[in-house]
Amino acid sequence: MDRVRIVEVGARDGLQNEAARVPAAVKIELIERLANAGLPVIEATSFVSPKWVPQMADATEVLAGLHRKPGVSYPVLVPNLQGLERAHQAGADHVAVFTAASDAFNRKNINCDIAASLLRIKPVVDRARAAGLSVRGYVSCVLGCPYQGEVQVSDVVRVAAALAQMGCEEISLGDTIGVGTPGKARAMLRAVAEAVPMARIAVHFHDTRGQALANIYACLEEGARSVDASVAGLGGCPYARGATGNVATEDLVYMLQGMGLETGVDLDALIETGRWISNKLGREPASKLGRVKKS
């Protein structure tokens, strides 16, 4: 059966945006539950500046405290060499670098423009690979930017190609503020796939305007087979005004199952995990599946 690889980002993309402090022990339990539910890749945390994102200040405690399940990978975000060093010391074997197709967003999120971000990322990728770590690269704002508005597809292609050229094994294309619609998502993906092989591309849709599953469906039709998602629809970026959560992993798995696409995920265990973390955060799950009454 055709397979889709889900990259679960709730513990990072989700919890980086929570106003309330989530204890490291809860983050660790979340990640372990997700692994037990069959997710093959679980982004665990980010080694960014705690002055910028205090929610991730416990990155070392979370990564080093995890009981890792064999066969599961636990990537972490690193913005610079300092982050890479911290991640490596905490035992990371898979890191993710990140930039955007928008100068304006980058200035808010990482305090430099696109060109400077690529210069900053290059030695991070080189050193990570030399140390035997695998590297993913994120491109944010691929379908629009909260500060500059429209984003040119040519800028998305240029930045994605630069990251791939540097040695990022996978490039994740992020609709950070969930403004895309299926036709635009498809066209953007098609353009990037002319520069970066489809097998090395992942898609990352925030569901701010309810378009995430439709966008993913269009990208699956184009041949994408790696999809980022967030349990219980957790998420947002602290530097993208109004950005809400990613597509909920539960809803994504349900759609993929219906399409006959294998994920290896136990949907019941995942729904239970989504309810559990939502309960810890004091809210209803943002996933549709998490709200369906048990029969």
For ligand HMG, which residue of 83, 180, 233, 290 counts as binding (CB under 6 A)? 83
* 140 touches ligand HMG (CB under 6 A): yes
* 79 touches ligand HMG (CB under 6 A): yes
Q: How many residues bind ligand HMG (CB under 6 A)?
A: 28
215 binds, among ligand HMG, Mg ion, none (CB under 5 to 8 A by kind): none
* 105 touches ligand HMG (CB under 6 A): no
* 80 touches ligand HMG (CB under 6 A): yes
Burial class (CB in 10 A: 0-12, 13-18, 19+), 6: buried
141 is catalytic: no
For Mg ion, which residue of 13, 32, 250, 251 counts as binding (CB under 5 A)? 13
Q: Which is nearer to Mg ion, 13 or 222 (CB)?
A: 13
CB of 88 to ligand HMG, least distance (A): 12
83 binds, among Mg ion, ligand HMG, none (CB under 5 to 8 A by kind): ligand HMG
52 binds, among ligand HMG, Mg ion, none (CB under 5 to 8 A by kind): ligand HMG
For ligand HMG, which residue of 49, 134, 148, 181 counts as binding (CB under 6 A)? 49
CB of 15 to ligand HMG, least distance (A): 11
CB of 14 to Mg ion, least distance (A): 9
- Give CA separation, 248 vs 71, 164, 176, in Å: 23, 27, 14
CB of 82 to ligand HMG, least distance (A): 4
Considering only the stretches 68-76, 79-87, 153-161, 255-263, report the one whose residues sit in contact with ligand HMG under the rule CB under 6 A: 79-87
* 237 touches ligand HMG (CB under 6 A): yes
CA angle 108, 106, 197 (to 5 degrees): 150
**Which residues of this chain interact with ligand HMG, rule CB under 6 A?**
13, 16, 46-53, 77, 79-80, 82-83, 86, 98, 109-111, 138, 140, 174, 176, 204, 206, 237, 239
> Could you give the residue numbers annotated as active site?
237
Question: Under the rule (CB under 5 A), what is the footprint of Mg ion?
Answer: 13
